[in-house]
Amino acid sequence: MTAEAPLTAAVEAAAPAVPGPRARTTTRYLRYGAGKVAGAAVSLFAVLVTGFFLFRLIPGDPVKTMTGGRPVSAEQLDSYRREFGLDLPLWQQFTEYCGKALTGDLGTSYQFHTPVVDKISEALPNTLILTGTAFVLYTLLGIVLGTRSAWRHGGLGDRLNTGLALTLYSVPSFWLGLLLIIVFSVGIGPVPGLFPTGGMESGGEEGFAHVLDVAHHLVLPVVTLVAVEYGQTLLVARSALLDEMGGDYLTTARAKGLRDDQVRRRHAVPNALLPTVTLVFVNLGRTVAGVILVETVFSWPGLGGLFYQGLSVPDLPLVQGLFLFFAGTVIVMNTLADLVYPLLDPRVGR
Amino acid sequence: MSTSQQHGRARRRLAAATGAGALILTAGLVPQQAAAADGDKVLTVAVAQSVDSLSPFLAQRLLSTSIHRLTYEYLTNYDAEDARAVPALATKWTSSPDKLTWTYTIRSDSSWSDGERATAEDAAWTFNTMMTDPDAATANGSFVANFRKVTAPSPTELVIELKKPQATMTALDVPIVPKHVWEKVDDYSEFNNDKNFPIVGNGPFILTDYKPDSYVRLKANKDFWRGAPKFDELVFRYYKDQDAAVAALRKGEVSFVSGSPALTPAQASSLKSEKNIKVNDAPGRRFYALAVNPGARAKNGETFGDGDPSLKDERVRHALFMAVDRKTVVDKVFQGYAVQGEGYIPPRFDSYFWKPSDGQELAYDPAKAARLLDEAGYKKNGDGKRVGKDGKPLDYRVLCHATDPNDKAIGQYLQEWWGELGIGVSLNCVDNVTDPWLAGTYDLAFDGWSVNPDPDFVMSIHTCGALPATPKDTGATDNFICDKQYDELYAKQLAEYDPVKRADLVKQMQSRLYDLGYMNVMAYPNAVEAYRTDQIASITTMPKKAGNIYGQDGYWSWWSATPADTGDSGGSDSTGVVVGIVAGVVVLVGAGAFLALRRRSTAEDRE
């Protein structure tokens, strides 16, 4: 990882006379990275194209859905089509869409009469607060519990841990959410209703009171998400560590007289983390897409719900924009994972 | 063992004890829903529908238009008793003998929330903007399409000239906006009126804050000419999941839940046993029907779609009608939360309600249905299937909404009932019914409309005039019905200004529609909603006797609601918040500390 800081310096140094071993590594890394970035760009373009045509396959004419149930003259329908640009030939719609997308203009939502970029930036922070908090917690919890499980695999703790994680992993999130609402929000028997039933804020609070209010609303949805998600990380972390457990270097470490705890934390876990890193980045990419079921149960005003509303019209600019954004984030995150991986594991990228 | 490790252990016990103690304390201490800190009475309503726009020129959804009803005055309002037009911004109105010029007297005691007086000029400007700027006509353009000229000769006089007589002149559901605010808007297609709070208005409530899919806050307009609302604040709070909304009502977090479109029978039954909660099981304004595709056609005579030709035979339609047990539909599917269907317009609108006479009624009678099918030439073959003269068996595709459990449940009954008659039924449940619907590619379809106090619209969608101009156009037609006799009655009622005579014509139209057998109204689903009686002492339903609360045509419910003396009004409680967060943090920190300490101790033990 030392290559990170002097990266640019190394590149400059790479040109003159004799490239040192470090410079050679750096060049190789840069070539590797450039390949990954180029691949990501191609993927992004593919997403742009897919997004445009995919959502035009959804049955349903947005103009008719939006005016459904109201008396509308053919002229009015035509004027809507003109306004939305749906009267143009498909290829022209496509080139316009691509051109605008490149400048960051994702069009205007049909149903909300608002630029899609505004709708996304309005809901994105809400989603990130929810999924981001949950992501950090379930990743940490998964890694900590997973490595502990593996370290003493087969024991009672391991069996309990894995059993619980698997059970929660297979629980439908909306069901768990509703259960938590009934128990901890409404209150049952001696359990008082501690948390709000839904939403992200009560409204009307300012400053720190507002932060507290959001935190208060955040507890139950985050608990739900962590409960159903940490199992995956736990299992990956556990099996990764199990693979490392037979390693000779651990015996060496023990022979040096290190305590068991130190052997695990300093030697085994760092090596076992590699597969987990991939999963972490995949999960990180997913965080922006929101979690539609949990968002619905807890009435969280995030991107997942927005996407659903877009699909039901179909609100083409909105769904296209969101699709591009979601897929784009996953691609960027995966590319980042690809870029980070060789730094963590020098065997990759050679 | 070193001293530090001993300390660690002591710390661990201490942490555990503190954590447990804190939890017990919080369990005992949380005061459930005390009144809002400043003593304001807040009425909180659970909603699920997103706001499409807060601009009266763009908003079309029920929640958005209800908010406009609360924040802007319209020329007229609907009486809570019988939905007749009553004064609102206009105190009285007259029409010329030819019904082409309407003069409204605008009240002089209504002022905008920024202090300016609301005048006829505001109304004239609102209508003129809709008539001249297509973007401003997005939501309510149909009301002004027939307007020739709108002027305001004085601040209290508004004159509307029409191209031809228009039935909706006392039911113009157009929010009148303040000219001095709105004339500064450049582009009505993208102005959503959701940035500068409070929004200048003159209704019973003033819109003070809005966060998409979180909440809409309104405060009482103390200067409202009809009198200030009794609650100080009205909050529409989002619950995207109906079960969560019901839980919030049970907890007291919200005062009212409407359900969309209604609470489920299970939810209603469970709430009924709850104290301090009243379930309002009101007659609904919707009809729920099975519509027959008589063969899709356009005004230019072209036919399209692929409706089964056997359905053109009235006897077949009547047979299908008679093989539907409407009582079972109400008892089993709606579990009693609906009224058995008869005529087209629900009994709630009693001046227009019509039901078939004894001889006319197509009651549940499978034996008679079988005879009718025999007469029509669809006899059962060896396999028990009805076969036409062309040798093709009767098989109907029924279009159903994938999102509506009622459609699916009744669809299964249809398969049973019609199956016994020898008719095959395949359910085609889709998310988006609009496309097959407009293309006429179905045989029968589940259909339902919410009926307005003035039935003109729901009657108009069965006239020939509502058919699309060509197969490529979209008409207002519901299911391509075009009947000369019905159309003649429709034209007559349109020109009839005597309410009693007009109602009689509307009833005759319903009778004709019933005889045609294209629309089998199976039920009128109830508006099942619930509220907390310890937060709302009284509230006006519409109609007053037995009516609904949410989605009224007027603003009566929220304007009339009076807060209960005891308990709170759904406001948030900062003590609860703090205690809840403290508890959450204690649990998290406790769990973290426990894990950390345990890890250290195990390592230590294994040494």
B531 pLDDT exceeds 60?
Answer: yes
Indicate whether A250 pLDDT > 90.
no
Tell me how close the Cα of A203 comes to any Cα of chain B, in angstroms. 7
Residues B260/B49, Cβ–Cβ less than 8 Å: yes
Judged against a pLDDT cut of 80, whether residue B424 lies above it is answered with: yes
DSSP single-letter state for residue B310: G
For residue B232, what pLDDT is reported? 94
Find the residue in B nearest to A259 (Cα). Answer: B607
Residue B583, pLDDT > 80, answer: no
Report d(CA B476, CA B267) in Å as an integer: 35
- The enclosing H or E element of B303 equals strand B303-304
Report, as an integer, the average pLDDT of B319-334.
93
Place of tokens 């005062």: B255
Structure token digits, residue B360: 């006319």
- Token duo for residue A279: 């999963």
Provide the pLDDT for residue A49. Answer: 86
**8 Å CB contact between B351 and B499:** yes
Q: Is A28 on the interface with B (CB under 8 A)?
A: no
Give the pLDDT score at B606: 47
In the DSSP assignment, the letter for residue B341 is -
Looking at the complex, does the CB of residue B410 fall below 8 Å from at least one CB of chain A?
no
What's the confidence (pLDDT) of residue B561?
A: 93
| For chain B, percent of residues with pLDDT exceeding 90 | 55
Residues A195-219 as b/e (b if ≥16 CB within 10 A, e otherwise) read: bbbbbbbbbbbeeeeeebbbbbbbb
User: Does the pLDDT of residue A62 top 80, yes or no?
Assistant: no
**Interval B457-476 mean pLDDT:** 83
Is B5 part of the contact surface with chain A (CB cutoff 8 Å)? no
Count of Cβ atoms closer than 10 Å to residue B402 Cβ: 14
**Is the CB of residue B565 less than 8 Å away from at least one CB of chain A?**
no
CB A43 within 8 A of CB A35: no
Segment B157-162 mean pLDDT: 95
From chain B, the residues in CB contact with A148 under 8 A are 599
Size of chain B in residues: 607
pLDDT band at B202 (very low <50, low <70, confident <90, very high): very high
In this prediction, residues B520-537 reach a mean pLDDT of 93
Q: What is the pLDDT of residues B85-112, one digit of tens each?
A: 899 999 999 999 988 999 999 999 999 9
Which residues in chain B (294-333) have CB-CB distances under 8 A to chain A? none
| Partner A, chain B 167-196, Cβ-Cβ below 8 Å | 189-190, 192
- The token pair at A166 is 């698997």
- Test A199 with B215 for CB contact under 8 angstroms: yes
Suggest the residue from B219, B277, B432, B461 to mutate for an interface test with chain A (most A CBs closer than 10 A).
B432
**Which has more pLDDT, A3 or B45?**
B45
Mean pLDDT value of segment A269-274: 83
pLDDT at B585: 65
Q: Is A79 on the interface with B (CB under 8 A)?
A: yes
How many degrees, rounded to 5, is the angle at CA B53 between CA B50 and CA B58?
A: 135
Q: Is B442 strand, coil or helix?
A: coil
Confidence of residue A7 (pLDDT cuts 50, 70, 90): very low
Instruction: Pick the closest to residue B213 from B248, B238, B242 (CA basis).
Output: B238
Q: Give the per-residue pLDDT at B579.
A: 58
**Would you say residue B242 has pLDDT above 50?**
yes
Position A93: which residue type? Answer: Q
Please say if the pLDDT value at position B603 is more than 60.
no
User: Residue A3 above 50 pLDDT?
Assistant: no
Instruction: Give A 256-275 residues with CB within 8 A of chain B.
Output: 259-262
Q: Is residue B522 pLDDT above 90, yes or no?
A: yes
In angstroms, rounded to a whole number, what is the distance separating the alpha carbons of residues A349 and A29?
Answer: 7
Cα(B11)–Cα(B597) distance, integer angstroms: 9
The sign of the CA dihedral A181, A185, A188, A194 is positive
User: How near does any CA of chain A get to the CA of B33, in Å?
Assistant: 10
Per DSSP, B34 falls in state P
Q: What residue type is B287 in one-letter code?
A: F
Is the pLDDT assigned to residue B568 strictly greater than 60? no
Q: Which two tokens stand for residue A102?
A: 């490149």
Residue A50, pLDDT > 60, answer yes
The SS3 assignment for B597 reads helix
- Give the DSSP per-residue string, B169-227: TT--------HHHHTT-S-TTT--S-SSSSPP--SSEEEEEEETTTEEEEEE-TT-TT-
| Least confident span in B329-338, B512-521, B594-603 | B594-603
Task: Out of A2-16, A48-62, B426-440, pick the least confident.
Answer: A2-16
Q: Does B572 touch chain A (CB under 8 A)?
A: yes
Mean pLDDT of A14-27: 63
**C-alpha to C-alpha distance for B494 and A200, rounded to whole angstroms:** 50
pLDDT band for A20, please (50, 70, 90 cuts). Answer: low
- Residue B581 confidence (pLDDT): 61
User: Is the model's pLDDT at A324 over the cut of 50?
Assistant: yes
3-state secondary structure of B56: coil
Is residue A53 pLDDT above 50, yes or no? yes
Report, as an integer, the average pLDDT of B111-123.
Answer: 94
* pLDDT given at position A21: 67
Asked if A117 reaches chain B (Cβ–Cβ under 8 Å), the answer is: no
**SS3 call for B18:** helix
Whole-number Å distance between alpha carbons of B411 and B416: 9
Averaged over A259-272, what is the pLDDT?
A: 84
- What is the identity of the amino acid at A115? P
Contacts of A316 in chain B (CB under 8 A): none
Q: Do A70 and B460 count as a contact with CB atoms less than 8 A apart?
A: no
Nearest partner of B175 among B59, B61, B50, B49, judged by Cα? B59
Rounded to a whole number of angstroms, the distance from the CA of A152 to the nearest CA of chain B is: 11
State residue B404's pLDDT score.
84
- The pLDDT score that the predictor gives to residue B280 is 92
Place of tokens 């009148």: B176
Average pLDDT, chain B: 85
Q: Provide the pLDDT confidence category of residue A68 given band limits of 50, 70 and 90.
A: low
- Looking at the partner chain, which of A60, A111, A209 has a beta carbon nearest the beta carbon of B432? A60
Please give the residue of chain A at the shortest CA–CA distance from B466: A71
- The yes-or-no verdict on residue B574 having pLDDT over 70 is no
- Mean pLDDT, rounded, for B328-341: 93
Give tens-digit pLDDT for B393-407.
Answer: 999 999 998 878 899
The model's confidence at residue B17, banded by pLDDT at 50, 70 and 90, is: very low
CA distance B438 to B225: 45
Q: Which of B134, B190, B438 sits opposite A64 (nearest CB)?
A: B438
Does B460 touch chain A if contact means CB atoms closer than 8 Å? yes
Answer yes or no: do B460 and A71 touch at CB < 8 A.
Answer: yes
Residue numbers in A near B578 (CB within 8 A): 212
Looking at CA atoms only, how far is residue B155 from chain A in angstroms?
A: 33
Tell me the pLDDT tens digit for each residue of A174-198: 899 999 998 998 888 777 888 888 8
Give the number of other CB atoms < 10 A from CB of residue B483: 19
Query: Cβ of A75 under 8 Å from any chain B Cβ?
Result: no
The conformation of residue B36, written as its DSSP 8-state character, comes to: P
Q: Does A9 have pLDDT greater than 60?
A: no
> Nearest residue on chain A to B48, judged by CA atoms?
A299
pLDDT at A87: 78
Most confident of A92-96, A257-261, B556-560: B556-560
With bands split at pLDDT 50, 70 and 90, how would you rate the model's confidence at B553? Answer: confident
Residues of chain A with pLDDT > 90, as a percent, come to 18
Of residues B451 and A13, more confidently modeled: B451
pLDDT the model gives residue B332: 93
Ranking A4-8, B209-213, B474-478 by mean pLDDT, the lowest is A4-8
What is the band of B25 on the pLDDT scale with cuts at 50, 70, 90?
Answer: very low
Of the pLDDT bands very low, low, confident and very high (cuts 50, 70, 90), residue A309 is confident
Report how many helices (DSSP H) and strands (DSSP E) chain B contains, helices first: 17, 25
**Joined tokens for residue B411:** 């669809």
Q: Please provide the distance, in angstroms rounded to a whole number, between the alpha carbons at the two ends of chain A.
A: 15
> Please, are residues B289 and B520 in contact by the beta-carbon 8 Å criterion?
yes
Tokens of A278: 């991939």
What is residue A54's three-state secondary structure?
helix
The pLDDT of residue A281 is above 90: no
- Return the percent helix, strand and coil in chain B, to nearest 5: 35, 20, 45
Mean pLDDT of B340-360: 91
Where residue B227 falls (left for φ over 0; alpha for ψ -120 to 50; beta otherwise) is: left
| pLDDT tens column, A144-170 | 999 888 888 888 889 999 999 999 999
Instruction: Please state the rounded mean pLDDT for residues B262-271.
Output: 90
- Chain A hits for B599, CB-CB cut-off 8 Å, are 148, 261
pLDDT for B152: 95
Mind listing the pLDDT tens digit for each residue in B362-380?
Answer: 999 999 999 999 999 999 8
Residue B436 C-alpha from the chain's centroid: 23
Sheet containing strand B215-220, edge to edge, reads: B205-211, B215-220, B233-238, B42-47, B256-257, B527-532, B277-282
Whether the link from the prior residue into B198 is cis, omega within 30° of 0, is: yes
Residues 6 or more apart whose CB falls under 8 angstroms from that of B346 comprise: B283, B284, B285, B286, B287, B339, B353, B451, B524
Whether A43 and A338 have beta carbons less than 8 Å apart is answered as no
Is B119 exposed, middle or buried, given 0-12, 13-18 or 19+ CB atoms closer than 10 A?
buried
- Position B576 scores a pLDDT of 53
The verdict on B55 touching A (C-beta cutoff 8 Å) is: yes
C-alpha span between B520 and B514 (Å, rounded): 7
Please indicate if any CB of chain B lies within 8 Å of the CB of A191.
yes
Query: Using an 8 Å Cβ cutoff, are A106 and A324 in contact?
Result: yes
Q: In the prediction, which pLDDT does B277 show?
A: 94
Tokens at residue B13, please? 């016990």
Residues of A in contact with B432 (CB under 8 A): 58-60, 65, 312
Nearest to B213 among A71, A187, A305 (CB): A305
Cβ–Cβ of B572/A202 closer than 8 Å?
yes
pLDDT tens track for A214-224? 999 999 999 99
pLDDT, residue B9, reads 43
More confident position, A19 or A281: A281
Q: Which of B6-20, B93-107, B374-388 has the lowest mean pLDDT?
A: B6-20
CB atoms near residue A341 (< 10 Å): 19
3-state secondary structure at position B148: strand
The DSSP secondary structure of B529-580, one letter per residue, reads EEEETTTEEE---BSSSS-BSTT-SSSHHHHH-EE-SSS--S---HHHHHHH
Residue with more model confidence, B5 or B322: B322
Average pLDDT over residues A277-306: 83
Answer for the pair B119, B75: CB distance below 8 angstroms, yes or no: no
Q: Which residue of B lies nearest to A152 if distances are taken between CA atoms?
A: B602
Q: Is B25 on the interface with A (CB under 8 A)?
A: no
